[in-house]
């Protein structure tokens, strides 16, 4: 039988440029679970609209809303207003908990994250090498099951290093179909899910007082969906 397409992977990056840390996080599922995974997320988005006034079309960019920088709604629950002050960080983190719970419970969903530490002044190289090794792992896993995969990534495809990584592999042996397909995260709910995975992995690895509130998010919500059981250093 010819290889069949059985993995769709949505990838986003994160990290800490000042320390040279690079992170990639992703969600994945088989094509027959595409609808159910997206439906579970859209149901959560509809809940966020009903309860908090967060439009379904508003991009949930984790680093913005969990740190109170993004105004994802025109109103904020009264429980996050104290002494006349609106606490957008608290609101954003409540939104994140709902989204994390959706990732934890979505039928047919798997996820993962990898990271590498390099030199702060050579982050581009670290990211390229990390991505190359991630693709090598994907290719090996797909070969072991005699199957094919598709990769979707945030961005516009202007960084040619991603394309080069795929095209440097022997065509006769490639298991990821085409190069990574780039999608603007603002228009992709699935990339926004991957963004939350990547950000959660980043704060797990790069711990400091400012992100202490989220250092257990990956273990509390995501580990059971991660066959590797946590962000993997490669």
Q: What percent of the chain has pLDDT over 90?
A: 96
pLDDT at 67: 95
Domains and CATH numbers, the chain: 4-233 (3.30.420.10)
Is residue 29 predicted with pLDDT exceeding 90? yes
Compute the C-alpha angle 134/230/205, nearest 5°: 85
Rounded distance, CA 3 to CA 141, Å?
Answer: 13
pLDDT for residue 158: 87
Asked whether the beta carbons of 8 and 28 are under 8 A apart, the reply is yes
CA distance 17 to 120: 6
Q: How many residues does this entry show for the chain?
A: 234
Give the model's pLDDT for residue 124: 94
Question: What's the mean pLDDT in 39-46?
Answer: 98
In terms of C-beta density within 10 A (0-12 exposed, 13-18 middle, 19 or more buried), how is residue 134 classed? buried
Q: What is the DSSP string of 112-179?
A: EEEEEE--GGGHHHHHHHHHHHHHHHHHHHHHHTTEEEEEEEES-S--HHHHHHHHTS-GGG--B-SS
Mean per-residue pLDDT over the chain, rounded: 96
Tokens (6 digits) for 98: 């709902």
Q: In which band, very low, low, confident or very high, does the pLDDT at 3 lie, cut at 50, 70 and 90?
A: very high
Q: Can you give the pTM of this predicted structure? A: 0.96
Task: Give the tens place of pLDDT for each residue, 153-199.
Answer: 999 888 899 999 999 999 999 999 999 999 999 999 999 999 999 99
Q: Which of 49, 48, 53 is nearest to 73 (CA)?
A: 53
| pLDDT tens-digit series, residues 136-157 | 999 999 999 999 999 999 998 8
Residue 186: name the closest of 162, 154, 208 by CA: 154
């Amino acid at each position: 039988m010819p290889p069949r397409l059985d993995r769709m992977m949505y990838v986003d990056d994160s990290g800490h440029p000042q320390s040279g840390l690079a992170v990639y996080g992703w969600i994945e599922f088989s094509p027959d679970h595409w609808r159910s995974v997206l439906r579970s997320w859209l149901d959560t988005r509809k809940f966020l609209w009903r309860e908090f006034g967060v439009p379904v079309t508003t991009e949930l960019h984790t680093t913005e809303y969990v740190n109170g920088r993004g105004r994802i709604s025109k109103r904020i629950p009264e429980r996050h207003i104290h002494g006349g002050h609106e606490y957008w960080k608290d609101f954003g983190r409540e939104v994140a908990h709902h989204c994390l719970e959706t990732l934890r419970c979505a039928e047919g969903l798997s996820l993962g994250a990898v990271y590498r530490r390099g030199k702060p002044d050579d982050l581009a190289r670290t990211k390229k090498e990390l991505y190359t090794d991630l693709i090598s792992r994907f290719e090996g896993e797909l070969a072991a099951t005699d199957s094919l995969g598709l990769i979707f990534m945030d961005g516009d495809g202007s960084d040619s290093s991603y394309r080069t990584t795929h095209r440097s592999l022997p065509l006769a042996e490639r298991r990821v179909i085409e190069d990574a397909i780039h999608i603007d995260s603002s228009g992709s709910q699935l990339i926004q899910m991957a963004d939350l995975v990547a950000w959660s992995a980043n704060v797990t690895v790069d711990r400091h007082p400012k992100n202490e509130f989220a250092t257990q998010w990956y273990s509390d919500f995501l580990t059971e969906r991660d066959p590797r059981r946590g962000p993997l250093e490669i």
